[in-house]
Amino acid sequence: MSKIVYALLLPIFLMPLSALAQNNKMYVMEGIGTTVIEISKGYNTTTFYDSFWNFDSDFKYGIPQGCQSNHHINLLRWVTKKALNMEKHLLSKSTFIRSVQCEKSLYLHKKRPFLRDRLAPEQLAKFRRGTKLGIVAQHLFPGGIDVRPHSYHQYTKKLLETQEVINSQSHNVIYEAGFQYDRLLVFLDILSKEEGHWIGYEVKSALKISDTFLLDAAFQYYVITNSGLPLKDFQIIYINKDYTFDGTMNLKALFIKESVLDRILPLQSFVKKKVEEGKATLQLEKSPPIEPGAQCTNPYPCDFIGHCWKKIPKEQWPQVSYSGEEFYHFVEDILKLATTEDKS
């Protein structure tokens, strides 16, 4: 069917959306067939029936059997997105951590981004190293599908792709699987199905697990499980400080996988509370009246120091240090070796 025909059908799709909210069902006349889309939030209740292609097709966020048309697939994705109320997210894992550090930082980040200090090259390099290390760690879980969004505009598409992969059971490993719940968004480094159960893995460019990493993991667990996907375990992958390179890169020896489930479950109510506080902060008309203090560098150097400390003599400003240079050289060496081995 041509694009024009689908464009003409769009209003018909739009009309039943309010009805869908009431009974989770949508009937759409399309050509000589009838498409029935039954959706409710979560992974277990979505059903599409499509009489035009295959009346008995029953799939969950997937593509109906026999459906060959990209236009039709895109239309179904669009309807799913509308039906699930996939509004723009308010908090991601980084903004959640930011809000725990300082609510004012969250507010300024979202509402006054132009007040931000220029990113230090050391900080930028740190982010890049973290991303690259995550990609190296993917080799511990070969054969996965990468649904990483390459820009903000791809978020919704990647969320739906994640659901399609999970429900179609086409892959047991997903890199950067995306989840959204209650306007909270996460992209998990590695999602792996082991012995029939999903396990989440978060990769950290670090030699040990910090309290902030636990909070980050707790937030991800909160979003993923509340979005409808049960996780049997959640593990943090970090670098083994005793690793010595003996001529061949041994990723299993280089990385440590450690379950943190028993430490993040008790944090779930804290996450819920902080999420509510963060959302309330974003409703404010002015930034919250928080005085500069010890929170400005703990756990991370805040990028609004120039704004918040401007009335304080510069000699009293917090010293921002990007310690651990030795460690980062070590990570750089790992990345070089892993890349070299990949190419060989």
Residues that bind ligand SF4 (CB under 6 A): 102, 104-105, 108, 290, 292, 295-296, 302, 304-305, 308
CA–CA distances in Å: residue 298 to residues 102, 277, 289, 323 = 10, 19, 19, 13
In terms of CB distance, is 271 or 296 closer to ligand SF4?
296
- Alpha-carbon distance of 335 to 344, in angstroms, equals 14
Which amino acid, one-letter code, is at 340?
A: T
Q: How far is the CB of 300 from ligand SF4 (least distance, A)?
A: 9
In terms of CB distance, is 72 or 98 closer to ligand SF4?
98
DSSP bridge pairs for 326:
none
Taking residue 180's Cβ as centre, other Cβ atoms within 10 Å add up to 24
In terms of CB distance, is 97 or 190 closer to ligand SF4?
97
In terms of CB distance, is 104 or 204 closer to ligand SF4?
104
- Alpha-carbon distance of 283 to 231, in angstroms, equals 32
DSSP bridge pairs for 234:
200
Q: How far is the CB of 103 from ligand SF4 (least distance, A)?
A: 8
Q: Is the peptide bond before 299 cis (omega within 30 degrees of 0)?
A: yes
Side-chain-facing half-sphere of 311: CA atoms under 13 Å? 3
In terms of CB distance, is 60 or 110 closer to ligand SF4?
110
Closest CA to 110 of 274, 273, 282, 308: 282
Cα-based angle 321, 323, 329 (whole degrees, multiple of 5):
135
Q: How far is the CB of 273 from ligand SF4 (least distance, A)?
A: 19
| Backbone angles phi and psi of 55, in degrees to 5 | -60, -30
Q: How far is the CB of 112 from ligand SF4 (least distance, A)?
A: 10
In terms of CB distance, is 37 or 102 closer to ligand SF4?
102
Q: How far is the CB of 282 from ligand SF4 (least distance, A)?
A: 14
Q: How far is the CB of 302 from ligand SF4 (least distance, A)?
A: 3
In terms of CB distance, is 76 or 97 closer to ligand SF4?
97
